[in-house]
Structure formats: C-alpha cells, structure tokens
Amino acid sequence: MEQILEMVNIVKTFPGVVANNKVSFEVRKREIHALVGENGAGKTTLMNILYGLYKPDGGDIIIAGEKTSIDSPIVAIEKGIGLVAQHFMLIEPLTVAENIILGLETRKNKIFTDMRKANQKVKELSELYGLEVDPTARIMDISVGVQQRVEILKILYREAQILILDEPTAVLTPQETKELYKVLFSLKEMGKSVVFITHKLNEVMDISDRVTVLRGGKAIGTVNTSETDATQLASMMVGREVLMRVKKEGKKLGEAVLELRKVSAVDSRKLPALKNVSLEIRAGEILGIAGVQGNGQTELVEVLTGLRKATSGEVMLKGDSIINKNSRSIRELRVAHIPEDRNKRGLILDYDVADNLILGPHYKPPFTYRGKRNLQNVWQNARNLIAEFDIRTPSYDTKAETLSGGNQQKIVVARELGGDISLLVVSQPTRGLDIGTIEFIHKRILELRDKGVAILLVSAELTEIMSLSDRIAVMYDGNIVGILQDEEAKEEQIGMMMTGISKVDALRGEESD
Amino acid sequence: PKEDPEPVEEDAKVEEDAKVEEDAKVEEDAKVEEPIRIGIVYSVGGRGDLSFNDAAFVGLERAAKELNIEFTEIEPVEIAKMETSQDFLAQEGYDLVIVVGFLQADALKVVSERYPDTKFAIIDSVVDMPNVASLVFKEHEGSFLVGAAAGLMTESNIVGFMGGMDIPLINKFQAGYEAGVAHVNPDAEVKVVHVATDGSGFRDPARGKELTLIQIADGADVVYHAAGSSGLGLIEAAVEKGVFAIGVDADQNHIAPETVLASMIKRVDVAVFEAIKTVVEDRFEARVHVFGIAEDGVGICGNLGEHASDEVIATIADLKQKIIDGDIVVPDTPK
Amino acid sequence: MTNTRKGKCAKYFEVALYPVIATCLALLVGVIIMLVTGHNPVDAYLALFEGAFGSSVAIAETLSRSTPLFLTGLAVAFAFKCGLFNIGVEGQLHVGAMAAAVVGCYLTGLPAIAHIPLTLLAAAVVAGIWAGVPGYLKARFRTHEVINTIMMNHIAIALVSYLVVHVFRAPGVIPRTSTILPSAQLYRFIEFSRLNIGLFMAMIALYLIYYLLWKTNVGYEIRAVGHNDKAAECAGINVKRNIVMAMVISGMLGGLAGAERIMGLHLSFIQGFSPGYGFEGIAVALLGRNHPLGILFSAILFGALANGGFRMSMATAVPTDLATVIQAVVVFFVAAEQLAKLFIKRRKKGRLAE
Amino acid sequence: MNLIERIFDVTIVMVTIRMATPLIIAGIGGMFSERSGVINIALEGKMLFGAFSSVAISYYTGNPWLGAAGAILIGGLIGFLHAVVSIKFNANQVVSGVAINILAIGLTAFLLETFFHVSGTTPTVAKLPVWGGFSPIVYFVAVLVVFSHITLFYTPFGLRLIAAGEHPKALETAGVNVIKIRYLGVIISGCLAGLAGAQLSIGTMSLFVEGMTAGRGFIALAALIFGKWTPLGILGSCLLFGFTDALGMRLAGLGIGLPTQFIQMLPFVVTMIALVSFVGRARPPKAIGMSYQKE
Ligand SMILES: Nc1ncnc2c1ncn2[C@@H]1O[C@H](COP(=O)(O)OP(=O)(O)OP(=O)(O)O)[C@@H](O)[C@H]1O
Ligand SMILES: Nc1ncnc2c1ncn2[C@@H]1O[C@H](COP(=O)(O)OP(=O)(O)OP(=O)(O)O)[C@@H](O)[C@H]1O
Ligand SMILES: [Mg+2]
Ligand SMILES: [Mg+2]
C-alpha cells in the first residue's frame, strides 16, 4: 500500500520532559492507523507537530516522498492534513456551519459570508459522510457528540486526506462511537487515511489496520492489527501485564447513606432538567447512572454536590437534609466529588500540582491552621499522593496546565479519593485515561466501596458502569427510567432504556428478540 | 491663541515705557547689565489655559521686552510638584519667583519660609509671609460690569453663566455676574451651569458648547463663561445660534468679533509685570495687592460699542464709577 | 532541591534583567527623540537621574512619589488576582482621601498613636465600601466591574468635589478642607522632603498582601477564584464572597493611598490633588506582574520617571511634554519584554558565533 | 409651560446625539479590538491623537475633510503601534494601552508647541460643515453602526474576528493567521477612535485643546462592555449615556436647586442602575487579554 506520510526521528522537548524522543511514524493511504500509549506518552505532541502547532526540535516530515516543513496549520491543511484535537477547537457562540467554514468561507458578492450556501454545503457534507448535524445550531447548545461531528466535518470541508483524531471517542456514547466507526470506515473507503488516538484497545482492535505504540516519548513499534491482540498491545503500552477488567467482591450493604425524594431542577437555560428523581444509595454500594449525556446526569450531580439549586424535592445524607446547602457544607459531611469536566471544574490549571491536590479541604488542618497555610504539609500531601497515584509530573510545584490530560485527571482522583469519606459522587472518572490508570482507579473505587462508602457513579462508558456498579439506574430526559440489579443488567437492554424505553418494555423487547 | 491684550490705557503704557527707559539708564550707571532673574511656576495644566497662566506669561513677556530681566518657566503638571518647582527656582537663586494660581498657596507657605531671602509673588491667593507679595483680583467686580451689560442687552430676560467647575474662585465670577444682571434688570434670570467636577471642566470645549446650546435653547441670549478653554465652546455655540457671548480673563473679542459682546478682563499680565518691576526697581512690597476695578486690575473691555447703545455704555461707565466710589459693593459669593 | 533553587535564582535574575534592558532601550529611544528635536540628551539624562536619585532628598522625593503607587498598584493587582479589573482605584483613592481629611480634621483630642490609625482606618473603610459596591454588583448580578468602576470613578470625584466645596471647605478661595490636626499627620523623617512614614505603611502593605495572597487561606481562595471560579466553586469556595472581599480589600488599599497623600503630603484634601495615581496603579501593577515584589520596583520606576522627568524639564530645555513621552516609551519597552528577550538572544547568538 | 415638555424637546435629542457620537465611534472601534482579543484601554489616547491630528492637518491644508481622514490614518498608526507592542512583542495589553494614553498626553502637547508654537490650545482651523445641526461625522455614525454590524455578523472577516477573540487556537487550526486578524482589529480600533477624536476637535469645535477628550475614551470602553461588544448594543448604551448627560445639563438649566455635582453624577448613576436592572451580565470574548503566541 502506498505510503503517503512519514515522520522520521521526531524530537520534541518541553522544560523537564522529552515528549517525543526520536519518534518515527508513517501513514499509508487508505488505512486507519491507531496511535496508542499511556497518558503522557507523547501522542498529542507528535500530532501537534504534524499539524504545525508545535515546532519539532529535530526530525523530518516527509509527505508524498518530499521533505516538508510544516510550520503552521495553514501548511498542514494545504498538505491535506486535518486534526480533530481532543479539546475541541470550536467557537461556542458561533453556529455549526460558521465553525466549519471558518477560514474558508463561502462568499456572496465576494464580501459577505454566504451562510445559505454554507448551510447547504454543510448539509451536503453531513449527508455524504453520515455525520448528522444542524448547521444553524450554536455550538454552545449542542452535545459533545455532535460537536465531535462538527470537528470532523470541519476537516472534511477542508478536503483533508489524512485525518488525525485525538481521542475522539473519549466523550462519545457507545452509540455515537459506533456511528463514528461507520464514518471512519466510509472515509477509508473513499481513499482517506485516518490516524486514531485512543486508550481503548477494543476500539483499536475493532477499526484499525495498524497500530503504533508510544511509551515514554519513544515509539515502541508498529504492528498490523490482525497480528496482535489487546493483551499484547496493553503490555506494549504499559510494559507489564494489565488486567482488562477488575474483579469485584460480593457486596456488604450498610445503612442508607443518600436518599433523593422527588428532586427536580432546571438547567442553565432554565429548562427542566431533573424531573422528580428518587434514588437511594446505601453504604458499600455503587450505584451507576447510565444514560446518554445531557439527560440530567450533570444536573443530578450538581444538585447533590451543592453546585445547583433544586427547585423541589428532598435530599437526605445519613438522615440530614442537604438540599440546597452550599458545596462546602456538603463536603464537610464527608462527601467527595470527581467532576465530569476536569479542566472546567476539577482543576485550577494555573495552580501547581501541590495546590491542586488540596483543593477542597484546603481551608482546614493540616493545610491551614487559623487562616495560615502550612506549606510543608501541603507539599508532603503532594509527595504522598504523587507517589501513591503515580502522577507523572516533574515535581509538585509544576503547573497543572503542563501535565498531560491523563495525569491531570489523576490529580483530581487522588485528591478526592484520598480523604475520609462517606459518599463519593463521581462523574466520568476515567475519561481519557490509559488502561493502566483506569485499572488503578477502578481498583481504588472498589476499595472504597468495600470500606463501606456509598458511591454514585456517572459514566458515559457502559463497560465502566457495568463492571463497577452494584445497581444501575438509567436516566432519560431527566427521569430515572429504571433501576437494574447488577446481575440482570445487559448492555443491549441498558442501551434501549437509554433511549427512554421503560425497563419492562426493554426486558420484553429483549425476550422477543 | 494668545493675543497681546491691547491695554486699556495706551497712555499708561507710554508712561511706563518712558519710566522703564529711565530706570534702565539708572541701572546701567550702577552696574553693567546684570539682568534680574525671574522664575515662574504656572498652575497645573500650564500655559494654554486662556486664563491666568496665559495672562501671566503675557506680563512676563512684556517685562522681558521692556525690563532687563531673564526668565524661566515651569509647568508643574501635578499639585505635589508645586513645592518642588518653587523650591527649585528659589534654590537656583532666582530674584523673584512668581507662582500662579491658588493651588500653589500651601506649597508657597513652606517654600517662602525655607528661602526667606527670595522674593515671591503669588497670583490669586494670599500667603501671609514677609517675602511674599499676594496678588489677588476682584473678579466679581469685573463680572458685575459684564453682568450689567448682559442684563441690559438681553431681550429674552434670560442670560447664562458657565463655570469650569463649582469652586470658590469661579463662584466669584458667578456672584458678580448675577449681581450685575440683577442690578440693572431685576426680572432677568441667570442660568448657571458648570462643565465638570474635575479639571477637565477647563479644557472640554465640546462639552462647553453643548451646555451652552442647551442654555440658548432654554432662552438665554447672552452667555458668559469662566471656564478656560471650555469657554471656546461657549463662544462657538453663541456664534452658531446668533446670541451674544461674553469672554473672560483676556479680551476674547478677536475669537468672534460679531458674537463676543465684551470680555471681563483680568489683568494678571499687569499684576505680573508690576510685580517684576517692583523687584527691578527694588521696591518690592510683601503684602496683599488687590486688583479691583479701582486699580484697573479687572474691568470690562472689547467692542461693546459695536453692539450696544450709548445708553448701555453710559450705564456701565456709571456703574464702574459707583464701584470705584464704593457706592456699590459687589458680593463675591453667589446667593 | 538545590537544583530548583538555583533555577529559581536564575529565573529571578532573568525576570529582573529584562526590565533593566528594556529601560535602557527606552532611554536610547529617548536619545533619538531628543537629538531629532534638538535637545542635548546628556544634560537631559543627567538631570533626569539627578531628579530621580541624585541626592538623598531626590531619592526621598522619588520614594514619596512612589508611595501612593505602591498602594494603588497593589490595589489593582489584588483585584486582578481574583480575576477582577479594578479601574476604579482613582475613585476609591478620592473617597479614601476625603475620609482621611475629615477624620484627620474633626476628630479632636486624640494622641497621634490613636488618631493616625483611626484616620487610616476611616479611609480604608470608606474606600473599601466604595469598591465593594461594584464587587457586590458583580457577585450578585454578574455585571461587569469595569463599567461600574469607571462609573464610580466619576461619581466619586463629583461627590468629593461637592464635599470639599460645600461641606468641609476651609475658609478662603482654595477648594480644600482645613488642615488636618498634627495628631493625624504622618511624620516626615527627611529634611526638605515630604517623604513620610506612609512609605513604611506601604511597605508593610506590600508584605501583608504578599503574605495574604500566598501564605494564607484567604489568598489561596482568592487566587483560585481568579484563575477558575467554576473549579473554586466546586471545591466549596464561596465565589461571591471572595469577589466582594477582593474588591473591598483592593479598595481599602486605594483608600490608604489617598490617605497617605492627605496625611503626609498635602495635609488637607485639596481638590485635584491626584494626578491619576489610580490609573498609574494599573500600569504599575501589570508591569510588576501583579506581584508585590514587581510592584515595588515598577512603582519606584514610575516615581523615578515622574520626578526625574520633571527635573529634566525644569533644569534643561526639554519640555515637560517630552519628558512624558519618554516615560511612555519606557513603559512600552518594559511591557514588551519580548523585545528585551530578542535583544538578549541576539547577543547570545552573537557570542556563540564568535 | 409644562415641565416635561420643557425638558424633552428637539434640543435634548440633538444634544444626546452629539454627546453620544464620539462615544459610539470610539466604542465601536474598541469593539473591533476587543472582539479580536485585545483589551482596549487605550481608546482615550487614540481619541486624543485623532483630535490633534485632524486639527493639525486641517490647519495646514485648510481642508477639514483631509483633517478627518488624517485623524483616521494617524489613529490607525497608533493602533498599529499598540498592536505591535501587545501582539508581536507580547506586552500586557493593558499596560501597552496605558502607555498609549501617556504617550498621547505627552506627544500631542509636544507637537502642539512644535507645529503651532502655542501651548494648550490651537488656533481656530477650518471645521467640518454643519448639516442640519450635526457634523457629517454624526451621519457617518449611522453608516458605521450598520456597516460594523454587517461586518461583524455577516462577513468572513467578522467571523474570524469573533473567533480570534473567543478561541484563537481554533482559528489558527482552521488555517487563519490569528496575529493578522488581531492586528486588523486593533488598527481599526485606532482608526475609529481617531475619528471620534476628530469629531470633538473639528466636528463640534474647530480647535484642539490639550486633554480635550476628558475621559470619553473610558466611557466608550464602559459603553462597549455595556453594549455587550455589539454595534447595536454600543449604540444603545451610548445613546442612553448621552441622553442622561443631556438631561442633567437640562436640569441644571432649570435651576432645580440640586448641586451641580449631583446633577453631573446622573449619567453614571443611571448607567449603573440600567446595568443591574435590565442589561444584566455581559459575556466578554473568552480569550480577551490573553496574548496569542505560536509554540
Ligand atoms: N506545552 C507543554 N509544555 C510542557 N510540557 C508539555 C507540553 N505539552 C506536553 N507536555 C508534556 O509532554 C509529555 C507528552 O504529552 P502528550 O500530551 O503528548 O501526551 P499524550 O500521549 O497525548 O498523553 P495523554 O494520553 O494523556 O493525552 C507529557 O509529559 C506532557 O506533560
Ligand atoms: N500551550 C500549552 N501550554 C502548556 N501545556 C500545554 C499546552 N498545550 C498543551 N499542553 C498540555 O499538554 C498536554 C497535552 O495536550 P492535550 O490538550 O492534547 O491533552 P489531551 O491529549 O487532551 O489529554 P488526554 O488525552 O489525556 O485527555 C495537556 O496536558 C495540556 O495541558
Ligand atoms: Mg493527548
Ligand atoms: Mg502644556
């Protein structure tokens, strides 16, 4: 097969890190090439170099047999390269179509933006590739899954031949992921090449033709997907054997820790988002919330953690009402919270690692005594957690901003799981993490459960929900459609319930299948 | 634009000139041309204010022409620099340090004490020190006369006053003006506005113009200002609407001869010149020198005759005499 | 450990080096301007230096000019740390100054040891409340503090103008309050200079704010809100309270700056006493990277330029306005540190090539 | 006469419009800069430059139209300077803005003496004609508002401008030179602020006075935020401000006995109240104030 792109001996260093250490990487025409590696292995850096966002310290990029220097995305686009960055490059107040045409606008009379034509074109593109979007919707009003489609359309609109997708599935629901697969296959059929970064090895096995593994900034090797399996890839990535699924002990249920009675709330646009939700979680149990994003999970978590006011209902924590209390008083009652969006809610990127690791209990001993901070204790805490959770950082006084996404998430997890808690509210705890880290975090969550902590787990990752939860509640349109016991939960059934079909109907549908 | 304000009394000037020549001769005999060194510290904002700073400069320039002096000017840009400026000039051994503006009084109290052998003169304020001559003006008396002119000329019985800021000095102008209007025309109403609450009130002609346009729309047909450069806006508005404007500090007739009815002249230039002369002639007097109508320190000037009837002119002359005689005492604070 | 310390030293050295180079470059531009306009740059710069640092009195006067800037710079920086742009320091300074004048003048029978702190406190409280208003409006209604602080500048200046002319005016033609009582005056400790113990107050404020921001929980929370209010909220930090508090403290600093001018320099509230200390504070803060140590130096730079530039205009034929231009150029160059970096890099490269 | 009728007549409308004109122009100028991601605290200084250069050019050419054009040009040049320092050399945008303001005060005064050999106030120069009580620049405002509304929301440039201020990296990855867009934004702001200054000096008046902008640049900045960074919003907020200002002037003339200082507070107080009661929160461009540097 024709090789259309080659990166040779790419070197890139950041202060304190060699992010890419003589990495070589090639892409062929009409292939889906997976790029895998642990958090911080250097995947994103390598792709940013390819797209002209970073300047490499050494190495060559050869496109169509010709040595090329890509010093800006403009050149990259010219060369047919398109990048979907993991942190979306979308402008929130603009519409879908406006985002797509940005930089390559359709024009009317040479002066005006021809939005009619743009909408038309986006519609056509979206039909052609099966990426359904509403061209006139504003980015801030659409779900992440749709935003992802917009990103892909953006590069297709630029007629990219090589599409780089940096962890595209991290934020997608299983259905959305399936749809994305279809799109990628059809792109391949049309002769395009795809570089696909992911941490999910089943995805690698499902869709890629070849896999390149990075570890610690070095390329470990490239293999044909058909000649490998997940276990082998995992050990290539991590350098050791990895359990692909954690083992769960039988549960020892305690008293009810959290009770919700008919809780309702509105979202940021003042539309009803939670509708009379009732739930109960007992000590030593993990309640998983499954559901397509945007069906009230966010609001549910926010109400529980004091970040959003409920409009009606009651929330009891071990017999105390906590409804509409502020988040500090709720935290005071030994509630920990891992928020879904680490950059927005979980971290202060400008703070160093140590300061991020105390966010929450920062105001009380041992970190603060009578208003004065005890930095020795802050640092000691950081050293302990960095070691315990294997956070890869040059030092505890490194800004969180410069860590890789995975290590940023570990900060949040380490902080929230580190203390003495009775209820853990956790959203998307492993989004974007590598398998080794996922394994580690899952183990920690189960340990907490076994210690008698009540856990509310929200995840878009069905496998995660299914492997950790003792009971699974499915949410749809602000309601709990039904609650399944661990044993009765099947992926297909949950999937049906996620579209609003009731538990009974879902079970029946299953039988009739 | 700084014009040489044509002195009210040509004769006086000639006389002075003659005297100067004499003095110069005397000096030449005594010593060979050691010029007297004059330092001047303007008020914040410095020259170009169309008010006391500019007028002081005119006096200085005249002295440079007519007397054997050399001079240095300082614009202190901020109040806190006034002391520095005065100190600098005193330290450099200037024979006379003239400071312009009431804001300098505090600093001068300190500096004049620090340099008891240096002579100082302050415009617009009183500093009671043995080496300070305080030159103050009865702006209200001059304003009374232009107020009378306005009161006599108005047909609508509404006249306007625009001050740069609501501060005591400006209120003196307002008080005299109001008294003058009331004296000749008790039915007339005086509309009062101020341009701003900070120093920009003296250098915002655009705002001055709009304020005046509103006064005119409210019926004013003679408008007077004590607002420095903002007053240029007043004159512009008067030109546009065809009403009379009254200038201030210097003769502002040349700005718009058709429109400027008269000006309230405040002879800071004369005061400065005289102060310098006393030093040149070695008869400096550290006391309060008041410049009122009687002293020709303030007054009405310009082309009143072009616009007003003889009757009006006669009335004003009469009022002037009454003030000089003490028959009329003009208030210096507004009612 | 030692390694990072060394690294830190080098970093501080670099941080300090750029402004120095930038100032030199700016002065070089000044030379060009003066040559073009026919002035003697050597004389001018000698005068500039003399005016800024030429004698102990000059140094004292420079520090005196810098004293309010330490405080207004801190005020702006402190608000910035909480993500707030306080353009209203000028107004806060005015109301603080007025409060100081009133308390300093009318609160009789107190010894200095009580009167001075009370006067300072009055200024700080009044200005703190003044700044708290836009803070509260931001926290409660999410209205932009830039609009409200600009508006409140004008309101403050109008208000104190009313008070000084119509309520607290001392007899005479000058729009000012009576002289404050000796017990409220800040002691001047250098002959012929108006430098007063307000300087030490400012130094203490610099240290306290440094301490508050980096060594206390209050600072941790304020900075957290400034960097990411959503995350701060999630961590149980009361965002609204911190916003109001940051504005109040910022305003208090501004008020103290005004109080120092009144209690140590003018000894009464004089209308128009501020040449824009509050606005200069914005540049001082940002030039100093919103860090107390940086503010210390940038305020001194501003004070030195103000006094030196003024001396230059007094002692040479260089007009005041040209001195102002040179000041602006210095700010440009110091702000554009990339330019200095460019310069250093060239030098380094040049040396390597040798 | 009915008091209400005395207050609200055609004069107050005209004064409102004239008071608002320089604010609208400068505010929209600021909008172009801030939309591109560069804070514009330098409007005041740019206006002052415009006010001065229009007078200087009108003085030398005798043609006020050239004066207005010159104000736009010089304003643009100052904008360019602002852009170079804050975009290319990565200076803090607020500091460079403050520096422009200082520069404006010093340089206009210095050039005043150099060109006119006077201090403080220039001689009278030819001013723009008065058409129906307004200078042509007032009519231009109508065009400007429409034009900038269309530019911002209906042209590719507007799209890129918004993107540069919201998410410059996204714009860069879309293959657009962010730096160039920001340069344009800041330069346009300079041009418009320059014109706003010209309105003061040769539109309303026919001369230049040191410091004659008198804080209008800051009011324009506030109006820009008040107007939520949109041309129509800026128009509305400036008209509100101009109106309350004119109202205050009117009330002063009616002799209602309120001290002048309180009357002068009116527009500021009303603005604050309006902001709280019906304008609400403004969402600034996300990346405003952040310098954008390529790795
Ligand atoms: N701009 C930067 N400044 C400093 N360090 C950086 C920067 N970008 C990346 N790094 C570091 O380079 C290393 C590689 O990061 P990179 O983002 O390429 O990893 P990754 O493979 O994408 O990881 P992840 O799976 O977590 O996204 C990490 O240690 C990261 O902290
Ligand atoms: N300009 C930058 N300055 C500092 N750090 C940066 C910069 N750009 C990227 N990084 C850091 O480098 C890392 C890689 O960037 P990126 O945003 O792609 O992470 P990511 O791939 O999304 O992480 P993950 O895949 O684990 O979710 C991140 O940790 C990011 O914070
Ligand atoms: Mg990555
Ligand atoms: Mg001047």
Q: Is residue D295 part of a domain?
A: no
Residue A171 confidence (pLDDT)? 74
For A401, which DSSP code?
G
CA distance, residue D276 to nearest chain C CA (Å): 6
**Contact status, residue D189 vs residue D32, Cβ threshold 8 Å:** yes
Q: Is A509 buried (19+), middle (13-18) or exposed (0-12) by CB count in 10 A?
A: middle
> What domains can be seen in chain A, in order of their start residue?
3-238 (3.40.50.300), 243-334+420-513 (3.40.50.300), 347-416 (no CATH)
Work out the pLDDT band at C112, boundaries 50, 70, 90. very high
> What domains can be seen in chain C, in order of their start residue?
18-353 (1.10.3470)
Residue A462 confidence (pLDDT)? 82
- Residue with tokens 């920009």, as numbered in its chain: B200
Q: Is residue D291 part of a domain?
A: no
**How many Cα atoms are found within 13 Å in the side-chain-facing hemisphere of C222?**
27
SS3 of residue A158 by DSSP: coil
C216: which 2 tokens? 């206390």
Residue nearest to atom 24 of ligand 2 (CA): A405
Residue A239 has pLDDT above 80, yes or no: no
Query: What percentage of residues in chain A have a pLDDT greater than 70?
Result: 97
The rounded distance, in Å, linking the Cα atoms of C170 and C177 is 5
Encoded amino acid at A14, one letter:
F
Q: Which domain holds residue D207?
A: 3-281
The rounded distance, in Å, linking the Cα atoms of A157 and A159 is 5
The kind and range of the H/E element at D186 are helix D178-198
Pocket lining: A482 vs ligand 1, CB cutoff 6 Å: no
Q: What is the pLDDT of residues C196-207, one digit of tens each?
A: 999 999 999 999
Residue B4 confidence (pLDDT)? 42
In chain C, residues with a C-beta closer than 8 Å to the C-beta of D261 are 158-159, 161-162, 165
**Contact status, residue B254 vs residue B141, Cβ threshold 8 Å:** no
Q: What is the pLDDT of residues C145-178, one digit of tens each?
A: 999 999 999 999 999 999 999 999 998 888 999 9
Q: Is A108 buried (19+), middle (13-18) or exposed (0-12) by CB count in 10 A?
A: middle
- CATH classification of the domain holding D61: 1.10.3470
The rounded distance, in Å, linking the Cα atoms of D136 and D128 is 7
A 55-94 residues with CB < 8 A to D: 55, 72-74, 76-77, 83, 85, 88-94
Q: What is the pLDDT of residues A417-445, one digit of tens each?
A: 877 889 999 998 888 888 888 888 898 89
The rounded distance, in Å, linking the Cα atoms of C224 and C209 is 16
Report which ligand 2 atom has the smallest distance to the Cα of A402. Answer: 5
Q: Is residue D189 part of a domain?
A: yes
Residue A122 has pLDDT above 90, yes or no: yes
Report which ligand 2 atom has the smallest distance to the Cα of A166. Answer: 21
Tell me whether the omega of the peptide bond preceding residue A366 falls within 30 degrees of 0, making it cis: yes
Distances (CA, A) of B333 to B179, B330, C180: 10, 9, 25
Ligand with an atom nearest the CA of residue A38: 1
Residue B1 confidence (pLDDT)? 36
CA distance, residue A274 to nearest chain D CA (Å): 26
3-state secondary structure chain C: CHHHHHHHHHHHHHHHHHHHHHHHHHHHHHHHHHHHCCCCHHHHHHHHHHHHHCCHHHHHHHHHHHHHHHHHHHHHHHHHHCCCCCCCHHHHHHHHHHHHHHHHHHCCCCCHHHHHHHHHHHHHHHHHHHHHHHHHHHHHHCCCHHHHHHHHHHHHHHHHHHHHHHHCECCCCCCEECCCCHHHCCCECCCCCCCECHHHHHHHHHHHHHHHHHHEHHHHHHHHHHHCHHHHHHCCCCHHHHHHHHHHHHHHHHHHHHHHHHHHHHCCCECCCCCCHHHHHHHHHHHCCCCHHHHHHHHHHHHHHHHHHHHHHHHCCCCHHHHHHHHHHHHHHHHCHHHHHHHHHHHHHHHHHC
pLDDT (tens digit, 0 to 9) for every residue of chain D, 295 residues total?
566 777 778 889 999 999 999 999 999 999 999 999 999 999 999 999 999 999 999 999 999 999 999 999 999 999 999 999 999 888 889 889 999 999 999 999 999 988 898 888 999 999 999 998 899 999 999 999 999 999 999 999 999 999 999 999 999 888 899 999 999 999 999 999 999 999 999 999 999 999 999 999 999 999 999 999 999 999 999 999 999 999 988 888 777 778 899 999 999 999 999 988 876 667 888 888 888 876 5
Tell which of A359, A367, A377 to mutate to test the C interface (max C CBs under 10 Å).
A359
Q: Residue A237 Cα, ligand 3 centroid: separation in angstroms?
A: 14
The rounded distance, in Å, linking the Cα atoms of C229 and C243 is 10
Work out the pLDDT band at B9, boundaries 50, 70, 90. very low
Residue nearest to atom 7 of ligand 1 (CA): A402
Residue C1 confidence (pLDDT)? 38
Residue B265 has pLDDT above 90, yes or no: yes
Query: Residues A218, A224, A227, A230: is their CA dihedral positive or negative?
Result: positive
Q: Is residue D94 part of a domain?
A: yes
Q: How many domains does chain D have?
A: 1
Residue A434 confidence (pLDDT)? 83
Residue (of A204, A209, A208) closest to A234 by Cα position: A204
In chain A, residues with a C-beta closer than 8 Å to the C-beta of C291 are none
Residues, chain B: 335
Strands A162-166 and A81-84, by their bridges, are parallel
- Mean pLDDT calculated for residue range A49-53: 91
Q: Is residue D198 part of a domain?
A: yes
Pocket lining: A23 vs ligand 1, CB cutoff 6 Å: no
CA distance, residue D127 to nearest chain C CA (Å): 27
C183: which 2 tokens? 């017990």
Candidate ranges A67-81, A113-127, C201-215; pick with highest mean pLDDT: C201-215
Is C271's Cβ below 8 Å from some Cβ in A?
Answer: no
Q: What is the pLDDT of residues B203-248, one digit of tens each?
A: 999 999 999 999 999 999 999 999 999 999 999 999 999 999 999 9
- Residue with tokens 């971290």, as numbered in its chain: A347
Distance between the two ends of chain D, CA-based, in angstroms?
Answer: 70
Residue D219 confidence (pLDDT)? 94
**Contact status, residue D262 vs residue D256, Cβ threshold 8 Å:** no
CA distance, residue A373 to nearest chain C CA (Å): 5
Chain mean pLDDT for chain A: 88
Residue B25 has pLDDT above 90, yes or no: no
Residue A494 confidence (pLDDT)? 83
Residue B12 confidence (pLDDT)? 44
Q: Residue B198 Cα, ligand 4 centroid: separation in angstroms?
A: 17
C 217-256 residues with CB < 8 A to A: 217-218, 220-221, 223-224, 227-228, 230-238
B124: alpha, beta or left, given left = phi > 0 and alpha = psi -120 to 50? Answer: left
Ligand with an atom nearest the CA of residue B45: 4
D 194-253 residues with CB < 8 A to C: 215, 218-219, 221-222, 225-226
Q: Residue C149 Cα, ligand 4 centroid: separation in angstroms?
A: 29
Q: What is the pLDDT of residues A163-206, one digit of tens each?
A: 999 988 877 777 778 888 888 898 899 889 999 999 888 889 98
Residue B121 has pLDDT above 90, yes or no: yes
- φ, ψ of residue A275 to 5 degrees: the values are -125, 100
The rounded distance, in Å, linking the Cα atoms of B327 and A43 is 98
Distance of CA C290 to the CA centre of its chain: 11
Residue C125 confidence (pLDDT)? 98
Report which ligand 1 atom has the smallest distance to the Cα of A217. Answer: 14
CA distance, residue D238 to nearest chain B CA (Å): 15
- Listed range (A497-501, C69-73, C217-221, D178-182) with the worst mean pLDDT: A497-501
Chains B and A touch, using 3 or more CB pairs below 8 Å? no
Pocket lining: A185 vs ligand 1, CB cutoff 6 Å: no
The rounded distance, in Å, linking the Cα atoms of A313 and A324 is 10
Residue C323 has pLDDT above 90, yes or no: no
Distance of CA C261 to the CA centre of its chain: 12
SS3 of residue D126 by DSSP: coil
Residue nearest to atom 22 of ligand 1 (CA): A44
Residue of chain A minimizing CA distance to C235: A360
Ligand with an atom nearest the CA of residue A85: 2
C89-106 helix and C277-287 helix, angle to the nearest 10 degrees: 130
Is D284's Cβ below 8 Å from some Cβ in C?
Answer: yes
CA distance, residue C310 to nearest chain B CA (Å): 8
Residue nearest to atom 26 of ligand 1 (CA): A39
Q: What one-character-per-residue DSSP string does A203-242 give?
A: HHHHH-SEEEEEETTEEEEEEEGGG--HHHHHHHHHSS--
Q: What is the pLDDT of residues A292-319, one digit of tens each?
A: 777 888 899 999 999 999 999 999 998 8
Residue (of B259, B295, B292, B268) closest to B176 by Cα position: B292
- Mean pLDDT calculated for residue range A3-19: 89
Q: CB-based contacts of A372: which residues, under 8 Å, 6+ apart? A: C215, C216, C217
3-state DSSP: chain D helix, strand, coil percent, rounded to 5? Answer: 75, 0, 25
For D258, which DSSP code?
-
Report which ligand 2 atom has the smallest distance to the Cα of A85. Answer: 18
Residue B14 has pLDDT above 70, yes or no: no
Q: Is residue D293 part of a domain?
A: no
Q: Residue A86 Cα, ligand 3 centroid: separation in angstroms?
A: 7
Residue B19 has pLDDT above 70, yes or no: no
Residue (of A25, A442, A31, A62) closest to A218 by Cα position: A25
Ligand with an atom nearest the CA of residue A428: 2
Residue A86 confidence (pLDDT)? 77
Q: Is residue D82 part of a domain?
A: yes
Q: Among A18, A43, A45, name the best residue to mutate to test ligand 1's pocket (greatest count of ligand atoms within 8 A of Cβ).
A: A45
A 111-140 residues with CB < 8 A to D: 111-113, 115
C267: which 2 tokens? 């000894």
In chain D, residues with a C-beta closer than 8 Å to the C-beta of B54 are 120
**Contact status, residue A429 vs residue A457, Cβ threshold 8 Å:** yes
- Mean pLDDT calculated for residue range C66-88: 96
The rounded distance, in Å, linking the Cα atoms of C94 and C97 is 5
Are D261 and C161 inside 8 Å of each other by CB?
A: yes
Residue D229 confidence (pLDDT)? 95
Q: CB-based contacts of D206: which residues, under 8 Å, 6+ apart? A: B236, D124, D125, D126, D127
Interface pTM, i.e. ipTM: 0.88
Work out the pLDDT band at C341, boundaries 50, 70, 90. confident
Are A73 and D172 inside 8 Å of each other by CB?
A: yes
